[in-house]
Amino acid sequence: MGARSRSAPSVCFAMANANRGKPCSSRVCCMGFDQALRRGYTVRSGEAPVNEPSGPSRRPRALRDGSVRFRAMERTSTPLAGLRVVEQAGWAGAFAGRLLADGGADVVRVIPPGGDGLEREPPFFGESGVSIQSTWYNAGKRLVELDLASAEGWDLLAGADLLIEDWIAGDAPFDGDALREAFPSLVRLSVTPMGHEGPWAGLAVNDLVATALCGAASITGTPETPPLTGYGNQTAHTVGLYAACCALGGVRLRDSSGKGCHIDLSSHETLTANTEQMLMQWFFPDGGRWTTQIAQRQGSLHWSGGYELYPDRDGNGLMVTPSLGLIDKLIPWLEETDSAGNLTDREEFPDLIALVKQMPHVMSVLREWTAKNEADDLFMEAQRRRLPFGAVWPVSKVVATPQIEARGYFQEREVEGYGSVPFPGRPLTTDADGPAPGPPARVEEASWGARPDLEAVPGEPSAAKPLAGLRVLDFTHVLAGPFGTRVLADLGADVIKVGTAARNAGANTLNHPYYLSWNRNKRNICLDMRREEARELARRLAGKCDAIVDNFSAGVLARWGLSREGLAETAPGVTVVAMGGMGNSGPWRDFVTFAPTIHAITGLSYLT
């Protein structure tokens, strides 16, 4: 499907700002999961001046939030502490609940009298009958067998902030109106295949069917092969991340108004919004190198023509790309190995534009070069030269990398009914984290105890803009970052997209369909961050924002004085979200990665 990096700036930012005013640094490693939301199709570029919006004046952010979640966070040091969630849903809803539990929410998964379908899903731990998938999706949760329609079920809902369910229209255990009347402050999130309205409202689908219906399968494989589906529950992960973002937006709206709400999330609409070049080519048929409004099937070749998987001399795969450093790094490297061919001919290729126009030829040179070498050697040397190559690895190799080990991603935990296993940790971390969630705990009964009164939140959230009043300084580029911050903008946050002079080319230019697709509903400013006055302006903007999001290599924001430490005095309440491909720690922290790089080195390309 092209470049779809799996990271979560949106949910990470929303976690940190569920108790706004308590600053933290959030670090998202792209060796994780998918991203985020859609609404309308407008890009607000060059609207009101960035320095001050119309309306009431805004003071620099400070530690002043007195909401219940902020007070709970002070006590327990987890971003979503105090948030009570009841969950009764399949894969997508379960993943949303897992993300909230990762952030410190108290999530109770209610198993109906007929049992939990997730617990019957293979593979299992040895011969134990304990589902590996169910154990992972339910990490950090309490599991209780309960009929939600019973008195005990209603008692549980009475103390909850959020209900996550996937009841298809007509199959709910009780009437929605009765639920609203009984629990007027409850936020209800319905995550269903097609939403609760329309002719397909009752349709039931699995991951394969969902992939086909949203159009994603139509651009996989080649014209000569059957369509493919991504390995694992990719649709559930995409929808689950959307669901978590919507849930936190709904809770913020409830905290502001005192009234609950019902969020009707269509998995189909969510997935359709994530089809990248499909939508871009459809809405901008004359906007790029493509020649047709319908995106074509071209195997592992990226829609831009500049990323592809090639076999090495042993048959192992390597993702190669000339998208970065072609003239100053990649061609000189090819020359060193006598593999540049005619790419060094300055008459034929006088500049970068001439090379880009002959991209198929450039890629053929790289294909032949790869076939003479070993993928792992080329991968490591490319990264040493700051080139975003990626070796195509199986999962067994992925989990044994020094990066995974250095970041402590796996920890020994006891799985009930089986024993000790290396258990995966959070896909994101913050400096407000408590201990990483472990396998779920099965309990006989679940209760919440006393429920504190909720206090008002800043801004003026509404049903159309539940994140109104939050402001984000967006330093991200290409896809994963802009897509994540687009979620926040779609939900009403004031997102200021900062373009940098060094990256103002290709898909990062203001009039490119790619830029327009992933930066809608944002305001825009372009800064030359090589100049001190630009860096000073960025620091002043940061003082008027709730969060900064970037997907640069580790250390870039710090050099500009925009890290948490650099802003400690001028913007003590700001949250900084760093979503570099490898995270901000470990021996590979400085690796250069684009989405196809991540696909390769996480095992996704190998398994697709």
User: Residue 588 domain-assigned?
Assistant: no
Q: Is 95 in the same domain as 228?
A: yes
Separation between Cα atoms, residue 117 and residue 132, nearest integer Å? 13
The model's pLDDT over 466-494, given as tens digits with 9 standing for 90+, comes to 999 999 999 998 888 999 999 999 999 99
User: Residue 583 domain-assigned?
Assistant: no
Separation between Cα atoms, residue 600 and residue 392, nearest integer Å? 4
User: Residue 420 domain-assigned?
Assistant: no
Separation between Cα atoms, residue 227 and residue 219, nearest integer Å? 7
Q: Is 76 in the same domain as 90?
A: yes
Q: What pLDDT does 453 receive?
A: 58
Separation between Cα atoms, residue 131 and residue 135, nearest integer Å? 6
Q: Is 129 in the same domain as 142?
A: yes
Q: Is 174 in the same domain as 116?
A: yes
Separation between Cα atoms, residue 320 and residue 382, nearest integer Å? 9
Q: Is 124 in the same domain as 191?
A: yes
As beta bridge partners, residue 578 has: 27, 550
Half-sphere exposure of 243 (CA within 13 A, CB side): 38
Q: What pLDDT does 62 receive?
A: 35
Domain of residue 569, residue span: 21-60+456-578
Count other Cβ atoms within 10 Å, centred on residue 181: 9
Q: What pLDDT does 37 receive?
A: 24
| Residues in the chain with pLDDT values less than 50 | 1-9, 12-77
User: Residue 411 domain-assigned?
Assistant: no
Distances (CA, A) of 43 to 148, 279, 462, 516, 526: 43, 15, 20, 7, 15
Could you tell me the two tokens for 603? 């095992």
Q: Is 86 in the same domain as 144?
A: yes
**Residue 326: strand, helix, or coil:** helix
Q: Is 176 in the same domain as 206?
A: yes
What CATH number is attached to the domain comprising 489?
3.40.50.10540
Structural domain count of the chain: 3
Could you tell me the two tokens for 583? 């995270």
From the list 577, 495, 572, the residue with the least C-alpha distance to 61 is 572
Q: Is 266 in the same domain as 304?
A: no
**Residue 584: strand, helix, or coil:** coil
Q: Is 140 in the same domain as 231?
A: yes
Q: Is 509 in the same domain as 544?
A: yes
Q: Is 347 in the same domain as 245?
A: no
The position carrying tokens 């402590």 is 408
Element (H, E) at 88: strand 84-88
The model's pLDDT over 380-403, given as tens digits with 9 standing for 90+, comes to 999 999 999 999 999 999 999 999
> Full-prediction pTM beyond 0.75?
yes
Could you tell me the two tokens for 239? 């929808």
User: Please, what sign has the CA dihedral across residues 510, 515, 520, 526?
Assistant: negative
User: Residue 1 domain-assigned?
Assistant: no
Q: Is 183 in the same domain as 254?
A: yes
User: Residue 258 domain-assigned?
Assistant: yes
User: Residue 517 domain-assigned?
Assistant: yes
**Residue 395: strand, helix, or coil:** helix
192, 267 Cβ separation under 8 angstroms: yes
Could you tell me the two tokens for 407? 């970041």
User: Residue 2 domain-assigned?
Assistant: no
As beta bridge partners, residue 187 has: 162, 261
